[in-house]
Amino acid sequence: MIPSSYPDKAEIARLTARMLLEIKAVHFNAAEPFTLASGLPSPTYIDCRKLISYPRIRSTLMDFLSVTVLREAGFEAFDNIAGGETAGIPFAAMVAERLALPMTYVRKKPKGYGRNARIEGAMTEGQRVLLVEDLTTDGGSKLSFVDAIRETGAECGHTAVIFYYGIFPETEKTLGDHGIALHHLCTWHDVLAEAKAAQAFDAETLSEVESFLDDPRAWQAARG
């Protein structure tokens, strides 16, 4: 079923944040910060992969992601839905089902044997491809996936994610300079607001997380 009528963007963001908190996909720890892929510390961590184990939540969020793409990119904007290996694959499959479109996936690197392919499934020259992932931090990992899609002769100018950090100003520029528009459901600011409303963490932890979100680079620099 192709969704067409759902809450506005602000309510989708609030409900998405609420669901992520409900399944404990959100982790805050200022005393013992997590390490990001960049090697820098963070008092926040999100595990969107947990969503696949919660049928009601995953179904609602995939409806939200599908309708967000339709609203922001267009109802006839795509011919193919591609998932990024590995976290994006199940979400791409569910979005493709809702939008009644073919689904493919993109490997992080060639598999090293056989056709040595990075694209699995049928993707053809001229197709307009939507890249689906679970989240984006600074946008960097999306570029390699998009380049692999474009190497087939297909077009890829959009990526859709459930969660966007929304705290690093260079992210949308990085994607924009590469000709990619970003669509997302919620950010850390949405999660923090919902966590405060639900009193999901103690006040000291929430204050430290807010300090990080307001100026992540300064927070990281202060902690080496």
Q: Look at the domain 9-210 and name its fold.
A: Rossmann fold (3.40.50)
- What is the pLDDT, as a whole number, of residue 18? 98
Per-residue pLDDT 10s for the chain (224 aa) are 676 678 999 999 999 999 999 999 999 998 899 988 778 889 999 999 999 999 999 999 999 999 999 999 999 999 999 999 999 999 999 999 999 999 999 999 887 665 668 999 999 999 999 999 999 988 888 999 999 999 999 999 999 999 999 998 889 899 999 999 999 999 999 999 999 999 999 999 999 999 999 999 999 888 86
Cβ distance 206 to 195 under 8 Å?
yes
- What is the pLDDT, as a whole number, of residue 1? 64
Alpha-carbon distance of 132 to 88, in angstroms, equals 6
Tokens found for residue 166 = 């929304």
* Residue 86 preceded by cis peptide, ω within 30: yes
- What is the pLDDT, as a whole number, of residue 191? 98
Alpha-carbon distance of 116 to 93, in angstroms, equals 23
pTM: predicted TM-score of the whole model, two decimal places:
0.94
The full set of domain ranges for the chain reads: 9-210
Distances (CA, A) of 110 to 114, 130, 148, 150: 10, 20, 10, 15
